[in-house]
């Protein structure tokens, strides 16, 4: 239902990840190549990055391809940890900037690619919106990111049809899950990229198997199989 991307490494511009590659997020907003559900991602976008340890965000409810300000400012925004996403809203979900990833608890930036029945998620006063992704993010923040794998398995047990691809960064670490949708990794000399689908045709992209937890730093990427409850 969405596409997302995470970067951890040497500081790079937002534009170099989100706008400039041949199959960048802006292209994936109208013509994704590997998306299993939905045809485009025109219901908003968000870019989050760490600035001196502070999580900062820029989010919109409009299509990424139509935002001239992003194209103007993104080359000047640089960070060693970036989480960005384009959104395809599920039926009945609000289309508003606060419903677009990345969500944050102040320490982590988090995106959800997928779908989950809101009835299995607890109501939360800290959720940034009423859509499923915002409620799921609030639950994950409440449980703690070190419990991400268990939280995803628990939600999946409550909603067997849920798709629960999570991508989160805290400035020194990227965490992700594959549960029902695609995720690929690219090791670069200056860092590591996790993305719903490759942003170019570099032969180094590797697909992450389904139902796995990914724990990445700048120097290593670890995979752990996720099991249902």
Positions marked active-site: 2
H-run or E-run covering 61? none
Rounded CA gap, 82 and 109, in Å?
Answer: 8
What's the angle, vertex CA 124, arms to CA 215 and CA 164, rounded to 5?
A: 35
Picking from 82, 88, 59, the residue whose alpha carbon sits closest to that of residue 163 is 88
> In the numeric block, which tokens belong to residue 181?
């949708």
CA distances from residue 224 to 120, 182, 211 in whole angstroms, order as listed: 25, 16, 9
Rounded CA gap, 25 and 194, in Å?
Answer: 12
What's the angle, vertex CA 123, arms to CA 118 and CA 128, rounded to 5?
A: 90
End-to-end CA distance of the chain: 24
Picking from 99, 87, 156, the residue whose alpha carbon sits closest to that of residue 132 is 99
> In the numeric block, which tokens belong to residue 136?
């799921």
């Amino acid at each position: 239902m969405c596409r997302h991307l995470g970067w951890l490494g040497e500081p790079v511009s937002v534009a170099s990840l989100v706008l400039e590659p041949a199959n960048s997020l802006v292209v994936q907003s109208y013509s994704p190549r590997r998306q299993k559900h939905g045809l485009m991602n025109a219901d908003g976008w968000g870019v989050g990055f760490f600035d001196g340890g502070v999580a900062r965000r820029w989010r919109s409810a409009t299509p990424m391809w139509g935002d001239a300000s992003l194209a103007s400012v993104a080359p000047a925004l640089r960070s060693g940890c970036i989480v960005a996403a384009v959104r395809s809203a599920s039926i009945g979900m609000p289309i508003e900037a606060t419903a677009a990833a990345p969500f944050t608890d102040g320490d982590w930036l988090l995106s959800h690619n997928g779908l989950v029945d809101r009835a299995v998620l607890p109501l939360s006063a800290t959720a940034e919106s009423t859509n499923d992704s915002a409620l799921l993010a609030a639950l994950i923040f409440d449980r703690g990111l070190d419990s991400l794998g268990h939280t995803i398995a628990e939600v999946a047990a409550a909603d067997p049809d849920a798709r629960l691809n999570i991508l989160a960064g805290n400035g020194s670490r990227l965490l992700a899950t594959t549960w029902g949708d695609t995720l690929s990794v690219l090791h670069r000399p200056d860092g590591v990229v996790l993305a719903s689908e490759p942003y170019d045709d570099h032969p180094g992209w590797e697909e992450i198997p389904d139902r796995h937890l990914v724990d990445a730093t700048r120097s290593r990427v670890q995979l752990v199989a996720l099991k249902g409850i």
